[in-house]
Amino acid sequence: MSDTLDLARELIRRPSITPEDGGCQPLLQDRLHRAGFAGETLQFGDVTNLWSRRGGNGPLLVFAGHTDVVPTGPETRWNSPPFEPTERNGQLYGRGAADMKGSLAAFVTACERFVVRHPDHAGSIALLITSDEEGPAVDGTVKVVEALQARGIHIDWCIVGEPSSETQVADTVKNGRRGSLNGRLSVRGVQGHVAYPHKARNPIHLALPALLELTSEHWDDGNDSFPPTTFQISNINAGTGATNVVPGEAELLFNFRFSTESTAETLKQRTETVLQRYDLDYEIDWTLSAQPFLTEAGALVDATRAAIRDITGRDTILSTAGGTSDGRFIAPTGAQVVELGPVNVSIHQVNEHTDSAGLDTLSAIYERILERLLTGAQG
């Protein structure tokens, strides 16, 4: 029997498609309350957030995660109902199994065991859980962090339970993330008949040379911690739907995933310099989703790597690859942040699953990190 697996099943049974919590946070807080955690619900808009803490002194170690999940897609394509946890061949199937209800269960069971063994531990432990990570992420972790800062609460160390592993649990830990900068570009032309192109200005044709230059641009070389910055066009829309009409406007969506060798401002400037060079009639709206962050070797990274070695006998790899996470809202406060969670092989997919035994391994690693940081245990 596995307490972690049982709790993961209970969480999966609660449909919590973003921004719904589906009753997951009350379940978690009930378990935490029995372990001496004082919890409170922080409601912002339609989003439910849980802040649950044990202890009043520093240093403060926070486990951060989310109860919301993405939609299931066609349920007929699932081999078992997405909100009925099912085990097959050593794998736990269900929406959120890997992203990230398995991690939430491992958080709680690690804290429960740790508190029993070390009731007088140093510092404080807290869980920051939101139901707005898979959605717009405007009323979730970012708002909780703002509320904590207004109270003078400083997070020293944060473990985000995102599925960071590649092939085995804890073979990879994310100690940073690239920045994400989005652009919505509108290029204006003159609508007309395709048979009379001299009376029209095709915005697609006008934009193509500039887009080719942007896709070919060398933005930076990256560094030892980050790959080079990339530019990707994700959407192009134009036209009336008719084959004989030159469109009057074209709209494009694009994204930069950028390293610490570039800044959002320099990327904006360089992009607009290219667009202006081609004398385009354009407007561009920018949205900065995340600044890049990096947690260097230090107390949290060292404790995490040592704990993984203690439990699995393996050395982990540090990585900054992948998309964004809610760590982007916590790192700017000065907290050390790492992401450690299940294997990332099926998240957001039909038949999402995670290794059942791996959840126990993950819980043991979380507990060992607590011991190394809050009891000084080294062996």
Give catalytic residue positions. 68, 133
Q: What values do phi and psi take at 321, rounded to 5?
A: -75, 170
- Check if the beta carbon of residue 217 is closer than 8 Å to that of residue 233: no
Q: What's the one-letter identity of residue 318?
A: L
> Contact at 8 Å (CB) between 47 and 131?
yes
Measured CA to CA, the distance from residue 160 to residue 317 in angstroms comes to 16
What is the token pair recorded at 17? Answer: 């498609």
Among 139, 141, 11, which residue's Cα sits nearest to residue 82? 11
Distance spanning both ends of the chain, measured CA to CA: 28
Give the helix/strand (H/E) hosting 184. strand 179-188
Whole-number Å distance between alpha carbons of 125 and 375: 12
| Dihedral angle sign, alpha carbons of residues 239, 240, 243, 247 | negative
Give the length of the chain.
Answer: 379
What does the block give as tokens for 116? 């029993």
Burial class of residue 5 in the structure, from the number of CB atoms within 10 Å of its CB (0-12 exposed, 13-18 middle, 19+ buried): buried
17 within 8 A of 68, measured Cβ to Cβ: yes
Between vectors from CA 143 to CA 139 and to CA 148, what angle results, nearest 5°? 155
Give the residues across from 288 on adjacent strands: 181
With beta carbons less than 8 A apart as the criterion, state whether 311 and 361 touch.
yes
